């Protein structure tokens, strides 16, 4: 690979080269309590004011026993559920520090509705939690219309006590589905590359820092390591079923594409040199992976089956083609190319036909195609000394900017509902992962340790 190609295609990894091998350690799947039969009257809660969002209150859940684990779980459930419901900005969330004047309920039959109504509450979440004889948690929750005292949503869950956050995430997603017809993201995850372990790669001429693949909950909680090979592992990409992560690794000395099946604890190498292979991107049906390779002597795009078979070349020529991303229909692939002189975003049919240029700026890279119902491509655009995140509406051709010059902002990845983006930014002095709404609002930092790169949001 030429020096130019190396710098262009891998600039976002911030200086790597590697050898290495080691044991693999995969995280267990997060607890996902199975919902039981609901008992509810399906009704949407609205605000008393025309055009205003309903006001939601989520106090701590009620512990039905006094043991420390149950009491702690009750507090965690209330706080995490409040945060999850607040994330989508569909409701006005009444601050939890204003609940102190409300008499405490002991269950679902003594809820002080009048006091909650005086606070301005439209919708009230009441939950209980207790330990079962087998040591599991039983969580029950109801959503009340405060004005009518009517329960419009009721669920009961029983499952492991190890991760009470998982119950809150499930409740949040189900409330959004029932009240808004919206797919929430509370049970999704974000993968990213990180050098936080401060390890150095053995056997290299230069003192290179190890990068490993990590995953976290959507809000940055439960960060855990996927790869443990003391090498350079970069640009992770979640499979559509959320069961595996494709990524580029230098563990063999040259970059190859691997699949980590994170819940099975298995690993597959799906490219096998001697060429260099980078930047895997899954097709929406999970059957194919697009990637960049120099196997024809230039940096072009290829498509292979998810097991590494049936490789076919997608782009041709001496120009660089990199960073593929599939359209939701699976019929097109957007990518970065310098064939016009500077890196820009292009689209080509998955059959290799219909090439067209989308951007005309100074430097554009790392496109990511939004899921339905939107038809947009987010990308990193040079806006001075650094980059900012922009979104191109493919229907109208309009471009809107999401970040505005605070640090350098790169590697956008859409949430599975298309309402948010994860991206990396240097705005804190280190490279960290942030999330933000597609309208540029609701910025949140989700990593704080080490430097973290190339987020991928699970489906």
pLDDT for residue 376: 98
Q: CB of 66 within 8 A of CB of 74?
A: no
Whether residues 105 and 218 share a domain: the answer is no
The answer on 221 and 125 residing in a single domain is no
Residues 122, 204: one domain? no
| Banded pLDDT at 206 (limits 50, 70, 90) | low
Q: What is the mean pLDDT of residues 314-339?
A: 97
CA 425 – CA 436 distance, rounded (Å): 12
Is 36 part of any domain?
Answer: no
Residue 412 lies in a domain: yes
* 152 and 258 part of one domain: no
Identify whether 42 is part of a domain: no
Residues 246 and 174 in one domain: no
Domain that holds residue 435: 3-29+187-457
Instruction: Say yes or no: 262 and 279 in one domain.
Output: yes
What pLDDT score was predicted for residue 43? 87
> Which CATH number belongs to the domain containing residue 79 in this structure?
3.40.50.10070
**Residue 48: predicted pLDDT:** 76
**One domain for residues 141 and 233:** no
pLDDT (average), residues 333-340: 97
38-43-49-50 Cα dihedral, nearest 10 degrees: 130
Q: Domain for residue 437, yes or no?
A: yes
- Comparison of pLDDT for 39 and 267, the residue scoring more: 267
My answer on whether 204 and 157 are in the same domain is no
pLDDT surpassing 80 at residue 145: yes
Residue 309 — very low, low, confident or very high, per pLDDT cuts 50/70/90? very high
The whole-number pLDDT of residue 40 equals 52
pLDDT at 284: 98
Report pLDDT digits (tens) over 390-438: 999 999 999 999 999 999 999 999 999 999 999 999 999 999 999 999 9
pLDDT-above-70 percentage for the chain: 89
Q: Phi and psi dihedrals of 83, rounded to 5? A: -65, -45
> DSSP code of 205?
S
Given a cut of 50, whether residue 4 has pLDDT beyond it is no
Q: Average pLDDT of 150-162? A: 96
77 domain residue, yes or no: yes
Instruction: Provide the pLDDT for residue 103.
Output: 95
**Do 166 and 225 belong to one domain?**
no
Which positions ≥6 away from 218 have C-beta within 8 Å? Answer: 87, 185, 186, 187, 188, 189, 190, 415, 435, 457
pLDDT given for residue 6 in this prediction:
34
Q: Are 321 and 278 in contact (CB under 8 A)?
A: no
Average pLDDT over residues 170-185: 97
pLDDT of residue 202: 64
- Whether 176 and 254 share a structural domain: no
pLDDT at 443 (0 to 100) = 98
Tell me the chain's radius of gyration from C-alpha atoms: 24
Last residue of a domain, one of 180, 212, 233: 180
81-128 pLDDT, tens digit per residue, is: 999 999 999 999 999 999 999 999 999 999 999 999 999 999 999 999
pLDDT over 50 at 9, yes or no: no
CB 8 within 8 A of CB 323: no
User: Domain check: are 305 and 394 in the same one?
Assistant: yes
For residues 274-287, give the mean pLDDT.
97
Domain membership flag for residue 426: yes
- The predicted model gives 10-29 an average pLDDT of 33
Last residue of a domain, one of 180, 206, 241: 180
* Domain final residue pick, 128, 155, 180: 180
Q: How confident is the model at residue 199 (pLDDT cuts 50, 70, 90)?
A: confident
Considering the chain, what is the average pLDDT of its residues?
90
The domain that contains 193 carries what CATH number?
A: 2.120.10.30
On whether residue 331 sits in a domain, the answer given is yes
- How many domains is the chain partitioned into structurally? 2
Decide: helix, strand or coil at residue 337.
Answer: strand
Assess whether pLDDT exceeds 70 at residue 1.
no
CA distance 15 to 47: 52
Residues 232 and 312 in one domain: yes
Q: Is the peptide bond before 218 cis (omega within 30 degrees of 0)?
A: no
In a domain, 43, yes or no: no
């Amino acid at each position: 690979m030429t020096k130019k190609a190396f710098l262009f295609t891998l600039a976002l990894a911030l200086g790597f080269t590697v050898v290495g091998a080691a044991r693999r350690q995969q995280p267990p799947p997060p607890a996902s309590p199975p919902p039981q039969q609901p008992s509810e009257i399906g009704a949407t809660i609205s605000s008393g004011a025309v055009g205003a969002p309903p006001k939601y209150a989520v106090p701590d859940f009620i512990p039905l026993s006094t043991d420390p684990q149950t009491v702690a779980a009750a507090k965690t459930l209330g706080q995490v559920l409040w945060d999850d419901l607040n994330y989508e900005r569909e409701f006005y969330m009444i601050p939890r520090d204003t609940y102190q004047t409300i008499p405490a309920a002991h269950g679902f039959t003594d809820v002080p509705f009048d006091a909650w109504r005086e606070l301005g509450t439209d919708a009230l979440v009441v939950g209980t939690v207790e330990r079962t004889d087998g040591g599991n948690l039983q969580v029950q929750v109801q959503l009340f219309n405060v004005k009518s005292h009517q329960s419009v949503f009721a669920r009961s869950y029983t499952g492991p006590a190890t991760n009470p956050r998982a119950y809150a995430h499930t409740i949040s997603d189900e409330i959004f589905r029932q009240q808004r017809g919206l797919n929430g993201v509370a049970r999704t995850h974000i993968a990213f590359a990180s050098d936080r372990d401060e390890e150095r790669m053995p056997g290299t001429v230069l003192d290179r820092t190890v990068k490993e693949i990590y995953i976290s909950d959507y809000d940055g909680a439960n960060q855990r390591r996927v790869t443990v090979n003391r090498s350079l592992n970069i640009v992770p990409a979640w499979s559509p079923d959320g069961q595996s992560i494709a990524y580029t690794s230098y563990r063999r000395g040259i970059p190859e594409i691997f699949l980590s099946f994170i819940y099975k604890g298995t690993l597959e190498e799906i490219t096998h040199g001697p060429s260099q292979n980078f930047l895997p991107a899954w097709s929406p049906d999970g059957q194919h992976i697009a990637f960049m390779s120099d196997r024809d002597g230039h940096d072009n795009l290829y498509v292979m089956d998810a097991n590494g078979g049936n490789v076919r070349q997608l782009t041709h020529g001496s120009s660089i083609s990199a960073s593929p991303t599939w359209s939701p229909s699976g019929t097109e692939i957007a990518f970065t190319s310098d064939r016009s002189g500077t890196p820009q975003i292009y689209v080509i049919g998955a059959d290799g036909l219909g090439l067209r240029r989308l951007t005309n700026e100074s430097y554009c890279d790392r496109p990511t195609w939004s899921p339905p119902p939107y038809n947009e491509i987010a990308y990193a655009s040079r806006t001075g000394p650094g980059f900012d995140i922009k979104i191109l509406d493919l229907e109208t051709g309009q471009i809107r900017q999401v970040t505005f010059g605070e640090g350098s902002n790169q590697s956008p990845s859409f949430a599975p509902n298309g309402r948010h983006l994860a991206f990396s930014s240097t705005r804190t002095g280190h490279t960290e992962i942030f999330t933000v709404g597609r309208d540029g609002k609701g910025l949140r930092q989700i990593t704080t340790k080490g430097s973290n790169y190339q987020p991928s949001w699970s489906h």
